[in-house]
A = this chain, B = another copy of it.
């Protein structure tokens, strides 16, 4: 289960727990593989924008964190230098699931992308946003 330089589901769970913002927002690491990760965040009324949808900053936070953890599962600690996202539809639901995947892990840059799904009261999920990041591995 431990693959690559330090990959470990427990390690991602610990990284997640060490980030104050992730705790405040209620991010959970649901599962992880080499180069992939799934995060979950239950709906929170205090994380919304003016129209009552999940705030774009939270959509970004979920997508970026999924990308970062997917990269970290291969290369260890990383920092994001570029992030972008497309918001396909209003982010509403009882919880959100972010799935991150590493596209390429180079020595100097890692490319990852992520999808954000909203789960409604019936348990049905739909794609609400996509994102991608360029990350830089930190020196060991």
Contact = CB atoms under 8 A, between A and B. Distances in A.
A88 B111 contact: yes
B20 A46 contact: yes
A94 B64 CA distance: 24
A134 B82 contact: yes
A61 interface: yes
Interface of A: 15-16, 18-25, 45-51, 55-58, 60-62, 64-65, 68, 77, 79-90, 103-104, 108-109, 111, 113, 127, 130, 132, 134, 136
Contact of A20 (B45, B77, B79, B90): B45
A16 B55 CA distance: 12
Given A21-B57, A49-B19, A82 B82 contact: yes
